[in-house]
Amino acid sequence: MIDFELSPNIQSSRQMIHMVAEQLMRPISREYDEREHEKPTEFLETMWKLSAGTSFGSDREADKKAAASGPKEGNLASCVSIEELSWGDAGLYLSIPNPGLGGAAVLAAGTAEQKQRFLAPFKDGAPKWGAMAITEPHCGSDSAALLTTAVRDGDDWVLNGTKIYCTSGLMATEKSDGFVVVWATVDKSAGRAGIKSFVVPAHTPGMKVIKVENKLGIRASDTAMMVFEDCRIPLDNILGSAEVKAGTEGFKGAMATFDATRPLVAASALGIGRAALDFAREALERAGVTIRYGAAPSTLTAVERDFMEIESELQAARLLTWRAAWMMDRGKRNNLEASMAKAKAGLAVTRVTQKAVEFLGPLGYSRKLLLEKWMRDAKINDIFEGTQQINMLIVARRILGYSSKELS
């Protein structure tokens, strides 16, 4: 039955996480934007204690089983939590110790043994991070063009190549006992079919972070450039089959990770957008401007019109995001819907935050307030985890029934 009410469990965890966002994140938000590359150690320790053991992403097999045993809402719950944390601070949210996107890849494509081996350490001990390394200096959206190689040598895979824009890459590989999931080709002549993902544990010899990026926003989160030089990992650290099959099935499997993570990234965008929208609404109200929803169109001011527009853009993005998560919870394929949500949310949050800066005029542009920061933070959502354009391309292929060859 069509129902827009979140379950009592989700509502109560949302309230709790909102308090964390308000009391632990907002007070240090500006500080760690200005002190890029420094870590809020106390906050990270606290979050590790609060959230150890919670995973990020979706275990496809578990979802299917759960769907058979009754309605589940783990993915939706993650979306709601991530929106709250990102309402607090998106950069700090991304820097929270957890398996991250690497964990999502393990959940989506790993065996039961791999899930246990790589994810169990996240249940206790010192804080740990997981990361995912796909992008290379010469290719981003065109991930099938990557050059990093994985060559089998006896009982090892040997990785060679350079990866960039790896979120939490430094924390995952050098500052904790985490891991990074690295995409590499086992057979360049096979094209997409040769691309596989590998789990590289922290401190593995031959892996080194050589640069941490300076960025427009989400400065509290480290974004690493790393090189792999004869980096050896055990054979069973490959996610999925090592076999190179004709066609693109293997690559599609790897891309399926994104069906799980795109709604979560969209949810983070929603949090930043809501922060800006809430702030703008309150500021306008203090200045005597209230939004009159039912008023005659001819009497609406430009601010009222703009506000209504961004408010509904954000809500539309939220519902598309919740739908994609809900489908995953029900064990339904959500490739199309996940890309719809991500494309919409990335664009919506970009517009919402830019408009909110405009509403506040010179105050909005000042670093005394967080609005300008939210605008800078927001933009990454239109880029990472598939740019807006890549997600539009995926939507277009799906609605038209085209392969990537037919529509490139």
Which x/- pattern over 16-55 shows residues binding another protein (rule: CB under 8 A)? ----------------------------------------
CB of 19 to another protein, least distance (A): 22
CB of 298 to another protein, least distance (A): 4
The sign of the CA dihedral 132, 138, 140, 146 is negative
Stretch that binds another protein, among 118-126, 150-158, 276-284, 388-396 (CB under 8 A): 388-396
Q: Which amino acid is at 4?
A: F
Q: Is 258 in the site for another protein (CB under 8 A)?
A: no
Q: Is 393 in the site for another protein (CB under 8 A)?
A: yes
Within residues 140-169, the interface with another protein by CB under 8 A covers none
Between CA 242 and CA 253, with CA 247 as vertex, the angle to 5 degrees is 55
Inter-CA distances, 96 with 99, 211, 270, 393, Å: 9, 20, 18, 31
Between CA 376 and CA 384, with CA 382 as vertex, the angle to 5 degrees is 100
Q: Which amino acid is at 160?
A: N
Using the rule CB under 8 A, which residue among 68, 296, 302, 368 binds another protein?
296
Using the rule CB under 8 A, which residue among 295, 301, 333, 366 binds another protein?
295
The tally of CA atoms less than 13 A away on the side-chain side of residue 398 is: 14
Judged by CB, which is closer to another protein: 71, or 137?
Answer: 71
385 is catalytic: yes
Using the rule CB under 8 A, which residue among 205, 288, 298, 362 binds another protein?
298
Q: Any idea which residue has 């006896």 for tokens?
A: 154
Say if residues 199 and 136 touch (Cβ distance below 8 Å).
Answer: no
Using the rule CB under 8 A, which residue among 4, 41, 214, 288 binds another protein?
4
Number of residues that bind another protein (CB under 8 A): 45
Nearest to 197, CA basis, from 247, 137, 257: 257
Beta strands in 202-334 (DSSP E): 207-212, 223-234, 238-239
Give the Cα separation of 12 and 17 in Å (integer). Answer: 9
Q: Which amino acid is at 318?
A: R
Q: Is 323 in the site for another protein (CB under 8 A)?
A: yes
Binding site for another protein (CB under 8 A): 1-7, 10, 71, 73, 76, 293-299, 308-309, 311-312, 315-317, 319-320, 322-323, 326, 337, 340, 343-344, 389, 392-393, 395-397, 399-400, 402, 406-407
Which residue numbers are catalytic?
385
